[in-house]
Amino acid sequence: MSMDGATTPVIRYPWQAPPERGEAIEVAEGVLWMRLPLPMKLNHVNVYALDDGDGWTIIDTGFNSKLSRGIWTDLMAGPLAGKPVHRVVVTHHHPDHVGLAGWFQSDHGAELVATRTAWLFARMLLLDDQQRPPPETLEFWRSAGMDAAILAQRTGEKPFNYADIVAPMPLGFRRVKQGDTIRMGGRCWDVHIGNGHAPEHATFWSRDDNLVISGDQILCSISPNIGVYATEPEADPLEGWLEACERLLPLAREDHLVLGGHKLPFTGLPFRLQQLIENHHGALRRLQEFLKTPQTAAACFPTLFKRRIGAGEYGLALVEAVAHVNHLYHAGLVSRTRGDDGAWLYQAEGGSDG
């Protein structure tokens, strides 16, 4: 992989192990790192608490579940020393990050801080209560070339409903946007907005020391999922994600301690951002070569991921494959035609990604 010679190709992990359930690790003065379990392959989400003196600002929340609420109750009585949580900042609208925001608002009197898009998406998705996948979702899956057996199974199943794991959210929030600053944990933070993994994803860069709160926009050892969904089937989130990585790269310093939504805090941010960018450009180059013959999005799994995709990962792999073929399609590098089964078939037009 070609890297700028000025960038040290090293990612370091100051902590080799995460905090135990119900415990916290102080990663900087007044900044606590905690972890909540998730019932999926990525089995945890990182959350943070910043000491404001008279109370705490917490960053992200975990799912809305009896287990998560119990863990938070223990954390508030233990590491948070009984001081109130007076503000909840959510980096983006995904359930593992916003799931208990409404609970903190309604049960603990906390203020919610979010980007406008994150709040609107969360409120919108809370309205969905589906017993079976709607026709638009089935059409999207067929268009992506979903495996016939998986499509048949999912057609008859109750789908994931956002409200199952996200607490009701009362009206009212405080908006943050690109260029804002926010005071948390005795520090002034610049707000920089990412995209791709989630629309209008907030990241926070401390002016007073080396901390970066990255949510899922930047992770240390996994690439954030970048997906297209039935809500916007023609979207090109990969374009937004690459733009955000390029825009954030000049801000990145070797000594930045990056506090992500999953895995471990790390240093080596300039190298990691370049690595993430190059990984996706490499995937796009492989995909163009593979699409010299017409293929569905689902047929691109081996080329894109270079590993076997199991049943538990199939949904996330499918939406990411659509994101990559959509990116090539909107760039004019592939064309598409409908197959007899309703799936789009993509074929390379020639040229290279760049």
Asked whether the predicted pLDDT for residue 326 surpasses 80, the reply is yes
Distance CA 286, CA 277 (A): 15
More confidently predicted of 277 and 41: 277
For the purposes of burial, counting CB atoms within 10 Å of the CB of 82, is it exposed (0-12), middle (13-18) or buried (19 or more)? Answer: exposed
Average pLDDT (65-69) is 97
Contacts of residue 228, defined as CB under 8 A and 6 or more positions apart, other chains included, come to 235, 237, 319, 322, 323, 326
Distance CA 161, CA 129 (A): 6
More confidently predicted of 10 and 244: 244
Asked whether the predicted pLDDT for residue 4 surpasses 50, the reply is no
Average pLDDT (10-14) is 94
Contacts of residue 84, defined as CB under 8 A and 6 or more positions apart, other chains included, come to 54, 55, 56, 108, 109, 110
DSSP 234: T
pLDDT tens digits, residue range 332-354? 999 999 999 999 999 997 544 43
Contacts of residue 148, defined as CB under 8 A and 6 or more positions apart, other chains included, come to none
**All structural domains of the chain with their residue ranges:** 25-131+161-283
Average pLDDT (248-259) is 97
* Contact status, residue 144 vs residue 344, Cβ threshold 8 Å: yes
Distance CA 198, CA 220 (A): 17
The pLDDT assigned to 349 comes to 79
- Architecture of the domain made up of 25-131+161-283: 4-Layer Sandwich (3.60)
pLDDT tens digits, residue range 40-55? 889 999 999 999 999 9
- 314 φ/ψ angles, rounded to the nearest 5 degrees: -60, -45
Average pLDDT (34-44) is 94
Asked whether the predicted pLDDT for residue 112 surpasses 70, the reply is yes
* Contact status, residue 36 vs residue 47, Cβ threshold 8 Å: yes
Question: Using 50, 70 and 90 to split pLDDT, how confident is the model at 109?
Answer: very high
- Picking from 350, 346, 349, 347, the residue whose alpha carbon sits closest to that of residue 144 is 346
Q: Look-up: residue for tokens 């297209």?
A: 228
Q: Which conformational region is residue 160 in: left (phi greater than 0), alpha (psi within -120 to 50 degrees), or beta?
A: beta
Contacts of residue 288, defined as CB under 8 A and 6 or more positions apart, other chains included, come to 328, 333, 334, 348, 351, 352, 353
181 C-beta neighbours (distance < 10 Å), count: 12
End-to-end CA distance of the chain: 15
Asked whether the predicted pLDDT for residue 286 surpasses 50, the reply is yes
Length of the chain, please? 354
- 337 φ/ψ angles, rounded to the nearest 5 degrees: -140, 155
The pLDDT assigned to 2 comes to 39
DSSP secondary structure, 254-299, as one string = TT-EEEESSS--BB-HHHHHHHHHHHHHHHHHHHHHHTTS-B-SGG
Asked whether the predicted pLDDT for residue 1 surpasses 50, the reply is no
- Picking from 101, 240, 83, the residue whose alpha carbon sits closest to that of residue 174 is 101
Question: Using 50, 70 and 90 to split pLDDT, how confident is the model at 213?
Answer: very high
Asked whether the predicted pLDDT for residue 148 surpasses 70, the reply is yes
Mean pLDDT estimate for the chain? 94
CA 130 to chain centroid, in Å, comes to 24
* Contact status, residue 115 vs residue 198, Cβ threshold 8 Å: no
CA 168 to chain centroid, in Å, comes to 21
Average pLDDT (88-113) is 98
The pLDDT assigned to 9 comes to 67
The pLDDT assigned to 8 comes to 52
Asked whether the predicted pLDDT for residue 5 surpasses 70, the reply is no
pTM as predicted: 0.94
Asked whether the predicted pLDDT for residue 3 surpasses 90, the reply is no
